[in-house]
Each structure stands twice: as C-alpha cells, then as structure tokens.
Chains A and B, each alone.
Chain A
C-alpha cells in the first residue's frame, strides 16, 4: 500500500510517499494509525482533521472507508489555495 504525502506533511515526515505493509482491504483509520506508529513525534499532525485524505483524487471524510493497493491514497494538511 503506497501512500502519497504533500506539503507540510511531506516536509515533516521527510518523504513524498511511504510504502506500508497492511492487510487489504484496509480502513483509512488503520493507515492513519500505521503512519502515527511510524512517526510518533508527528501524531498530532497525522490526526483526523489535521491530516486530510484523498482516495483516487477525491477528498474522503470517512476514516472507515476501505481501500486497497489499487487505490491512489494521499494524506495532506488542510488546503490553503486562492
């Protein structure tokens, strides 16, 4: 399962994507927990509400949603365009 990272999240975690070995399909909540386990110092930054999630380039507000490695999954901070 590959997870893309953007903006401050990518800068703080030090990489623009991460390969996670998780049983599939997996809930977004479990991906979030795996990221927090790997970077305990950035738990807050990765928390629900602080790190948003897109699946196949669509914003998802439900951490229970199931995804698999066929999906494009991305974590990023709240957006600041315009």
Chain B
C-alpha cells in the first residue's frame, strides 16, 4: 500500500527509492516534504500534536490517490503522514508521485497535497510560547487551504 500513517519519522531517500526502483516507465518524479515551522500567526511555535481518525484517514488518502490517478497518468504514488507529538523542523508529510511526464507529476503532487490538507481527517494542535509560559491551541483551517481546492 502506497499510503501510510505513522508516528515514526520517515527517510526521504527511502521513499524516493520506492518511486524509482525498477521503474523504467516513468521519466519524472516530483515529491514534497512538509515540516513543522517555528512561526505561526505571529507566535513562536514549540511543537505540534497531530491527531487523526484511524481507519478513515487511510481511506481518505487512498481516495485522494485514486482521484489523482483518474486525472493524470501516474506510475507510483507514495504518501506518508506522521501523527503524534512533533517538534519544530520535524518532517510531517511526504507526497511523491512518478509519471512518464513532468507536468502530470507536478500537478498530481499539488492536487494530492491540496486535498490531503482539508479532506483527510488530520487535526493539528500547536504549542506556542505565551510570554514565559506555553499554551496549546487547535489550528483553524486556513482560508487559502479551502480556496486551493477550487483550482482543481
């Protein structure tokens, strides 16, 4: 299965190899890696907790992959999303696709990321610095993420 949800970190090199090993048909690979950033809405971020809906998450990701395959000629699709407690600079998500053609690989990887952000049941709760203390808060959906779906 090309879709995984896990607490453990992932190795970008190994994920890339999954896309290219013994794959003579595809001339293009595009992959994206999402990381925990240190600043959100003007506040210093200390860490991020990622919750998900086990079972539905995998189904939703597989559906997004199927939708992408229906639109572009894709060879392989590799999606890894982490859950649990993450720190600044940690890897969150890997989305990689291979295709005979470059345009398809670029577009499909963006399509999968756009839908993953607002159609797969993940929720982020961030820990931010609050003076000398810390506070936890759930992250709201960004309008640009909802807007991003309209281009597809």
* A-to-B contact residues, CB < 8 Å: 4, 6-8, 11, 54, 57-59, 74, 76-82
Contacts and interface: CB of A to CB of B under 8 A. Distances in A.
Interface string B85-117: 000000011000000000000000000010011
Contact of B121 (A8, A11, A54): A54
Contacts of A77: 123, 138, 141
A10 to B, nearest CB: 9
Interface of B: 34, 50-53, 55-56, 59-60, 81, 92-93, 113, 116-125, 138-142, 145-146
B118 A78 contact: yes
A78 B53 CA distance: 13
B53 A80 contact: no
Given A6-B53, A54-B53, A81-B81, A76 B123 contact: yes
A57 B123 contact: no
B72 to A, nearest CB: 20
B117 A7 contact: no
A79 B113 contact: no
A17 B51 CA distance: 16
Given A6-B51, A7-B51, A7-B123, A81 B117 contact: yes
13 contacts: A4-B53, A6-B123, A11-B138, A54-B56, A58-B59, A76-B121, A79-B117, A79-B141, A80-B118, A80-B122, A80-B141, A81-B93, A82-B34
A76 B141 contact: no
A6 B124 CA distance: 11
Nearest to B142: A80
A81 B140 CA distance: 11
A56 to B, nearest CB: 9
A82 B93 contact: yes
B117 A57 contact: no
A6 to B, nearest CB: 6
